Structures are given as C-alpha cells and as structure tokens.
Amino acid sequence: MTVLSVNVNKIAVLRNSRGGDMPSVLAAAQTCLAAGCGGITVHPRPDQRHIRPQDVLDLAQLLAGSPAELNIEGNPFAPPRDAYPGLLALCAAAKPAQATLVPDSDGQITSDHGFDLRRDAERLRPLIAELHEVGCRVSLFMDADSPDIELAAEIGADRIELYTGPYAEAFERGDAARQLALCAQAARRAQAVGLSVNAGHDLNQANLGAFLVQVPAVAEVSIGHALIGEALYAGLAATVAAYTAICAGEGR
Ligand SMILES: CC(=O)[C@@H](O)[C@H](O)COP(=O)(O)O
Ligand SMILES: NCC(=O)COP(=O)(O)O
C-alpha cells in the first residue's frame, strides 16, 4: 500500500503570516497522524518562509518512536544562512527516516524540476553517503522523463521521488495519458535497478487515484498544497482520511 506523508509547509506559511504559534504545525501534524497518515513531510528553505529549523526538531521529537516517518526535503547544496543550518546539518540533528534531495533554488516559488544527474551525480554521491551515516534513507527528486534514473542507484540513493507537477497539469487539461505513461516507465526503470519510488507535487484528491492505478508500486506520496487547501473546507482529519482511502485503493 502507498504511504501518505502529509507536507505541513502550508500550515507554517499561515502561522508565519502573523507570528506566534497559530495555527500550530505540531498540532496539525498530530491531527494528520491521528487521522491515519503514515508520515509527515517538511521542506525547509534557507529563507525560512515556511517550515523553520525549530519546527523540524519539534516534529522529529513528536515522531520519535512512532511508526510514522519524518521526511525532510531540501536542496543539499544550499549553504547555511542566518538560522538555517543547511539540509545535512538539519538531518544530522533531526535524524529523519528519509531525506529527499531536491534541486530547488531560493528564487523558486516551489519545486519545479528534478535533478540533472549527468551534472550533479558526483557532487551528490558523498552527501548521500553522509546521510546514510546519519541513518536516513535517501530519495532523489527526479523528472519522469529523466534519461538518468538508473544513475540514482549508482550513486547510492535508495529511492527516487517522481516530480508529478507535469502530470497534475496534464490531468487538469484532460490529457494525462502521456504523463502517466512517462511516470509508469520511470517507476519501472527505477524498480529494475532496486530503487523504490515515491511521488509528489500537486497531487490532489482528483488526480491521485488515476496515478496510483497506472504507476506501479508507489511506496509513498507526499502531499501538501492541495491537501491543506481542501482541509479548509472539509477539515484536516477528514481530508487526510480521504487521501488515505485513495492510497489504500478504496473505490478502485
Ligand atoms: C519537492 C516538492 O515537490 C515539495 O517539497 C514541494 O516543494 C512542496 O513544498 P512547498 O509547499 O514549499 O511548495
Ligand atoms: N514532495 C512533494 C510534497 O511534499 C508536496 O507537494 P505539494 O502537494 O505541496 O505540491
């Protein structure tokens, strides 16, 4: 079954807009966990516009000893800045179950592409080894049409996360077949060299079911933006329950 990891970045965005601790990232994570999700995802960025280092440490404490996993996403090449210690230092302190490496830059509103491993493989290799030393599983954010899926295994990654933004856009336009085929093919290539496959970005209640039907053996989906938006109307616990039902294949 596919694990749902809820990305709580957007809870922090709302909190940060006024300061203080309302809404609380920790309380939101607790609600998601109680509603049945299998993990919590955060994507701290150097400008600290949403999840902050202290949130990461608090979430790590909340999840310690629980079967639910903490997944920390971020750019491993972004240098420390102000109170942001850098992704590897944060992972060393929080010891998440999974670190997902993403090649996003500060100027991006959100992540919008995967790694070019022809360019970055040799820089990533020692960082992946360092994260393994800390005890993290390592996943690499990859485009579904990347020619270099197999290289992720060669440099030591455990998983890839398929960037599903192009699929979500195509689904919205009503012509998702090509993107689904690309994602399914990338998943099969990854699995053939021993990588597990995660997926994320702009997944929602409308497009998730078709994705999980067509793309084989997706280990985890991380979902935030749509889920938190939908939760404004339906409630967080009910929305998480709806996603876990889709992940469990109910209604297929
Ligand atoms: C890697 C990825 O697709 C997500 O981490 C995405 O970046 C969500 O983060 P934001 O909520 O900050 O856009
Ligand atoms: N890795 C994807 C993620 O964490 C959530 O992306 P989104 O649902 O906020 O687009």
Domain ranges of the chain: 3-247
Number of residues that make up the chain: 252
Pocket of ligand 2 (CB under 6 A): 7, 41, 43, 73, 161, 200-203, 222-226
Measured CA to CA in angstroms, residue 74 lies from 51, 56, 124, 143, 247 at distances of 11, 12, 13, 16, 24
| CATH class entry, domain 3-247 | alpha beta
Closest-CA residue to 70 (of 164, 17, 139, 125): 139
Index of the ligand 1 atom closest to the CA of residue 163: 3
Q: Is 202 annotated as a binding residue?
A: yes
CA of 221 to the centre of ligand 2 (A): 8
pLDDT in tens, 122-178: 999 999 999 999 999 999 999 999 999 999 999 999 999 999 999 999 999 999 999
Q: Is 110 annotated as a binding residue?
A: yes
Give yes or no for a contact between 231 and 188, defined as CB atoms under 8 angstroms apart. Answer: no
Task: Please report which ligand is nearest the Cα atom of 45.
Answer: 1
252 residues of the chain, pLDDT tens digit each: 999 999 999 999 999 999 999 999 999 999 999 999 999 999 999 999 999 999 999 999 999 999 999 999 999 999 999 899 999 999 999 999 999 999 998 888 899 999 999 999 999 999 999 999 999 999 999 999 999 999 999 999 999 999 999 999 999 999 999 999 999 999 999 999 999 999 999 999 999 999 999 999 999 999 999 999 999 999 999 999 999 999 999 977
CA of 159 to the centre of ligand 1 (A): 17
In this prediction the ipTM stands at: 0.96
Q: Residue of the nearest CA to atom 5 in ligand 1?
A: 43
Cβ partners under 8 Å of residue 38, min gap 6? 3, 4, 5, 67, 68, 69, 220
Question: Token pair of 86, please?
Answer: 């850098």
Task: Please report which ligand is nearest the Cα atom of 202.
Answer: 2
